[in-house]
Structures are given as C-alpha cells and as structure tokens.
Amino acid sequence: MGRTITPEQAAVIKATVPVLAAHGLTITTRFYKDLIGAHPDLRNIFNKTHQATGHQPRALAGALYAYAANIDNLGALSPAVELICAKHASLFIQPEHYELVGVNLLKTIKAVLGDAATDAIMDAWGAAYWQLADIMIDREQELYDSATNWTDWKDFKITRKEKESAEITSFYLEPLDQSFKLPTYKPGQFISVNVFVEELDGGVWQARQYSLSDAPGTNYLRISVKKEAGVLIGEPASMTHPGYISNILHEQRKVGDVVRLSHPFGDFFMDDKEEEKDAPVVLISAGVGLTALISILKSLAKEESKRPITWVHGARDAGVRAFKKETDELVAKNENIHAIRFSTHPNKEEVEGDHYHFKGRADLNKVSTADLHTDNKKTQYFVCGPTKFMLDVESQLQAFGVPSERIKMELFGTGGVQRV
C-alpha cells in the first residue's frame, strides 16, 4: 500500500506552485550536482549528456511543477509516470535509489529556499515525494516481475553490423549465453544499451535507449543507430554531445564485441486488441524515427495481417533514408501495404515516384485521405521523429478529425514531448 498525503499537505503543495515556477530549475540543477558529488557511483546511471546540457534538470523541474499543479488529480500524470517508469526499468533503478534522491532533493529544496522552506512546506514535500515514489517503485516492480529471468544487465555479442544508410547502421545482437531464450517483446519497444566509456570521468558506464527495429520472434535483437556528424571520440568538446554513444557504437564496437543490454520496455507499442485487428494502421516517421515503426510494420507483415497499412516517411534525401529496400519488398509482397516517401532535398540521382513521392518535409496535407484512413473511426496512428515533427503531425491529424486517443507518439528523451 503506497503512502498518501493529507488534504492539508496537498494544499501546501498547491501553494508552492509559484515557487517551483520561479526556483525549480535552480533547485534541480543544484540537486543533481550535489547528489552525484556525494554519490559518484550514480554517474553510471545518469545520462552525462543530459546533465551537461541541462536537459535532465529542466525535465525534473518540469516534472516537479506538473506534480505540484496536479497533486489533487494524479491521474493526469499517468502517461508521464508510465514513460518514466519504463525508462527507469530499462536502467534497473531500485528502491534504494529513490531513498538517495528523496533525501538529497529535500535537502536541496531547503538550501535553495532558505527560511521560506518552512517546516510545513518541508513536511508536505517529504510526504508528496514518497507518495509519488511509492507509485513508481510499485509500477517498476511490476515491470521487473514481467521480465522474469532478465532483471539486470545481460551480455550480448554483436554478430552483425549492416549499414542501412549514410547515417544509420543496424546492430544484430545475440545473447552471450546461448541457452538464454529471448523474450517476445511488443513491436515499438526499446532496450537500453550500456557501454563503458573510458574517456568520460576516468571511465564510466553510460546507457542509451534504442528502439528495437525488427519483428519479435528472432534469435537476435536488432537496433538501428544514427551516427551524428561532427563527433570525435575522445575529444573533450564532443564528450557531452547527444550522439557521443552512438558514435562509439559505430566507430569502436565491432562484430564479436560484447555490450550490455536491458530487457525490452516502453509504452510505445502496437497493442493488437481483438476488436481492432481489422483497423487500418498509419505509420508516420521522420529521420531515424522510423526505427520503432519498422518493427511494427514487419510484425504486421509477419503475422500476414490483411488490415490496410500506410507507411509515411520523411528524410533529407535518399542517401540518409534507411530501410527502403526492406519496405519496398514488404510493399511488393503485401497489397495491403502502401508506402509514401518525402525527400526534403532530393539529390540529382533520385527519381520521383521511386525514391520519393513528394518533395519537401513530410506534410500530411499532401497525402490522400484514403491513404490516411481518416474516415475510419478505428484507424491507429503511430508517429515518431523529432519533437516539432510529432507535434505538427498531431495537429494535422486532429485537424482531419482524428481524436488524440488514436494518435500514439514515441516520446524520446527525458521528459517526453514538450507541449509548452
């Protein structure tokens, strides 16, 4: 049974919303610095890039603000909590980590606010923290229970590297323990990849989440990783670049090397309910956002689904577009699958109608309503790509009359999609 706060404590939390708006980022920035300073082992859990860029403190500040503002309506936070719990489970966060965070967060709130942090405020925030922590600990335990015999980092060997485009390479990963049976994950979910980075802080483990990019039921797990340009491994100025770990995978990890993986997790997946098995599916992506959606597409084809499926993808040009051969083969073999491609800046070798269908950024206004299946009240929409792209697609679909509950978006990074 989780702990709960009293109505009086909830009122105090509500009253601190303006304080969090004014001082939240100051609190969270200092909190992470002090926490990691006091507990250096946590460097192996926290994303070094998100710390250096301030992304993680901003996300926590936003989360605290949202929690305080919705303290009497926690149901509104359920999607965000589910996202965070899935991320935590992929990093094997444990109850003792919540203890460390709680103690240090309250200490930082007191230090930053000083005399303004009265006993009543500190008591209320202590109770509020543990109310939320208990909810998350319980949910994460459910996720660990579902993972059965995979509740810690597991060694996998890179058995194949395949270049999918000028920027994206697929890694085929098989368990080092050949007797280990891979779980059946849900198409669209991700794994965490944990690598040791010698150049960071004298050596530190860093984990990154990558969508699984193949259908379940194989003897391997496949991830398809985009290599960011301009990152130099070992160069101090590059070490906190968002693409640093992806560059290590591309440049330093070879076939035969071992990496550590988490169990698949994530709330972005194809949930094939019986009553929706005939519903059209529209998969809309830009750039490397197609990795989660290719898993859904290949899974539907593997099941020999007859439901109408539309694949919409936007890329800069044909050179950076991954999985064209795979999707072309699926279209040729399955008359219910239709692919539509956008090229922002087609190169001179690209042929309209083959390499791309529309010039420019992905724009659903250029796609026929028949391909978008907006007239079917059961159509499921899956959207993945940069934040602005996803929000633009969501707005376009809503303008076509599609309700929000039928639009599923992959929320990359700490804090998910920002709507303000």
Contact 216, 185 (CB under 8 A): yes
How do residues 346-368 score in pLDDT, each as one tens digit?
A: 999 999 999 999 999 999 999 99
Q: For residue 415, what pLDDT band results from cuts at 50, 70 and 90?
A: very low
CATH superfamily of 7-146: Globins (1.10.490.10)
pLDDT, mean of residues 204-218: 95
In this structure, whether the domain defined by 274-410 belongs to CATH 2.40.40.20 is answered with: no
How do residues 292-324 score in pLDDT, each as one tens digit?
A: 999 999 999 999 999 999 999 999 999 999 999
Catalytic residues: 98, 140
Contact 124, 131 (CB under 8 A): no
CATH topology of domain 153-262: Elongation Factor Tu (Ef-tu); domain 3 (2.40.30)
Q: Is there a shared CATH topology between the 153-262 domain and the 274-410 domain? A: no
Q: Which residues pair with 221 in a beta bridge?
A: 173
How do residues 165-199 score in pLDDT, each as one tens digit?
A: 999 999 999 999 999 999 999 999 999 999 999 88
Determine the pLDDT at residue 274: 62
Record the tokens describing residue 364, joined without a space: 């659903």
How do residues 217-274 score in pLDDT, each as one tens digit?
A: 999 999 999 998 878 787 877 778 878 899 999 999 999 999 999 999 999 998 777 6
Determine the pLDDT at residue 177: 95
Determine the pLDDT at residue 419: 46
Contact 312, 367 (CB under 8 A): yes
Contact 408, 272 (CB under 8 A): no
Q: What letter would DSSP give residue 182? A: P
Angle between helices 55-69 and 119-146 (to 10 degrees): 110
Determine the pLDDT at residue 109: 96
Give the residue extent of every domain in the chain: 7-146, 153-262, 274-410
Determine the pLDDT at residue 306: 94
